[in-house]
A = this chain, B = another copy of it.
Amino acid sequence: MATTKEKIIETSIKLFNEKGCLNTSTRHIADKLGISVGNLYYHFKNKEDILIDIFTNYVKIVFKEVNSINYEKDEMFLLKDFLLNNLETDIQYRFLHLELNLLLMSFPKFKYIMEEQLKNEIKIIKKLLDHQILYGYIKPMSENEMNFLVSNTWIIVTNNLSYWNILSNDLHSNVKNGSLNIYYFIKPYLTQKSLDNEKLKNIENLLLKGDNEL
């Protein structure tokens, strides 16, 4: 049995994805949930706080995978699992990516948190790349190349859905295509050792097939 606070978050995410956070009024949320606006503001001090709550949750989920790696050992990053597991998350929190820039303009506290989060993400991804290069899963590269590998990865991870949504309404198929965007972007940087690894095998086919069970 979800608390009212949880239900507000649930309903907000649903509406934000459907119509955009900026197009969803606090009254919409309250009405949809069947509570009074006053009650909503009892649980959250303002709209930005709802957004930040959602974002914080999102970050936790996405970085579980990345943070689970053991940097001391020869361990390949489970790109396949990362891609597959995040299909669902990407759908559930898609408004965060699709509206990002306007959210940053409208909510200063959110902007600050997002900035700090991105800086942190960059550090973590670089560390991960260094580790994967060290153990031969990713081809060595210059500092510049790495900087733009990181930034391009972020750009593609964050914005892939935007492209496919313009072309089709099939959200599930779009998300899979988005994962393939990430995969194909990364591929040129993978070593043969990576490509031969069991753990990466058939990811391409898995995502290309229209298997809606994923």
Residues of A that sit less than 8 Å from B by CB: 19-20, 22-23, 98-102, 104-106, 114-115, 118-119, 144-145, 148-149, 151-152, 154-156, 158-160, 162-167, 177, 180-181, 184-185, 188-189, 204, 208
Known pairs A99-B101, A115-B167 / 7 extra A-B pairs, C-beta < 8 Å: A98-B101, A98-B102, A144-B180, A148-B181, A151-B163, A155-B156, A159-B159
**What residue of chain B has the Cβ atom nearest to residue A139's Cβ?**
B188
Instruction: Give the distance to chain B from A113, nearest Cβ to Cβ, in Å.
Output: 11
Could you tell me if B148 and A180 are in contact, using CB atoms closer than 8 angstroms?
Answer: yes
Could you tell me if A20 and B119 are in contact, using CB atoms closer than 8 angstroms?
Answer: no
Could you tell me if B151 and A181 are in contact, using CB atoms closer than 8 angstroms?
Answer: yes
Could you tell me if A162 and B159 are in contact, using CB atoms closer than 8 angstroms?
Answer: yes
26 pairs from A and B in contact (CB 8 Å cutoff): A20-B101, A22-B22, A23-B105, A23-B106, A98-B102, A99-B101, A99-B102, A100-B162, A101-B162, A102-B102, A118-B167, A119-B167, A144-B180, A144-B184, A144-B208, A148-B181, A151-B163, A151-B164, A151-B181, A152-B184, A152-B185, A154-B163, A155-B155, A155-B156, A156-B156, A158-B163
Number of copies: 4
The distance in angstroms between the C-alpha atoms of A119 and B164, with both chains bound, is 11
Given contacts A23-B106, A101-B99, contact A152 B165 (CB under 8 A): no
Could you tell me if B159 and A155 are in contact, using CB atoms closer than 8 angstroms?
Answer: yes
Could you tell me if A162 and B166 are in contact, using CB atoms closer than 8 angstroms?
Answer: no
Instruction: Give the distance to chain B from A141, nearest Cβ to Cβ, in Å.
Output: 10
**What residue of chain B has the Cβ atom nearest to residue A27's Cβ?**
B42
**What residue of chain B has the Cβ atom nearest to residue A106's Cβ?**
B23
